[in-house]
């Protein structure tokens, strides 16, 4: 008996994933930020602004965020989570 997924099961699996991702949001802990600003460099919708005086990043526009997760993957301090 084959355990290969059918087209229908693949569609259903992607649909459930899309529904889950729709509710995820970025959570930022500024106290963990070391000022690497890698989140700023990879954000496709410019939600981050470097604060050069305090040497940290500011998550200035959470409503604009598309929760793509690029910033989460780039943050060396794990100051950003997608949940």
pTM: 0.72
Read off the pLDDT of residues 13-24 as tens digits, 9 standing for 90 and up.
Answer: 766 766 666 788
DSSP bridge partners of 28: 80
Where residue 10 falls (left for φ over 0; alpha for ψ -120 to 50; beta otherwise) is alpha
One CATH from 3.40.50.720, 3.30.70.20, 3.20.20.70, 3.30.750.24 for 26-82: 3.30.70.20
Q: Domain spans of the chain? A: 26-82
Which residues sit opposite 26 in a β-bridge?
Answer: 82
Segment 39-75, tens digit of pLDDT? 999 999 999 999 999 999 999 989 889 888 999 999 9
Q: Tell me the pLDDT of the chain averaged across its residues.
A: 87
Q: How far apart are CA 83 and CA 24, in angstroms?
A: 5
Q: Please state, in angstroms and rounded to a whole number, the distance separating the CA atoms of residues 62 and 81.
A: 13
d(Cα 33, Cα 30) in Å, to the nearest integer? Answer: 5
Collapsing DSSP to helix, strand or coil, 10 comes out as helix
Q: What angle do CA 38, 39, 41 make, to 5 degrees?
A: 65
């Amino acid at each position: 008996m084959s355990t290969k997924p059918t087209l229908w099961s693949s569609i259903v699996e992607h649909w459930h994933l899309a529904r889950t991702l729709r509710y995820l949001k970025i959570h930022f802990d500024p106290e963990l930020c070391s000022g690497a600003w890698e989140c700023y460099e990879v954000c496709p919708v410019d939600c981050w602004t470097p604060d050069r005086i305090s040497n940290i990043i500011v998550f200035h526009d959470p409503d604009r965020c598309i929760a793509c997760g690029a910033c989460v993957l780039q943050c060396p301090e794990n100051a950003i989570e997608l949940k």
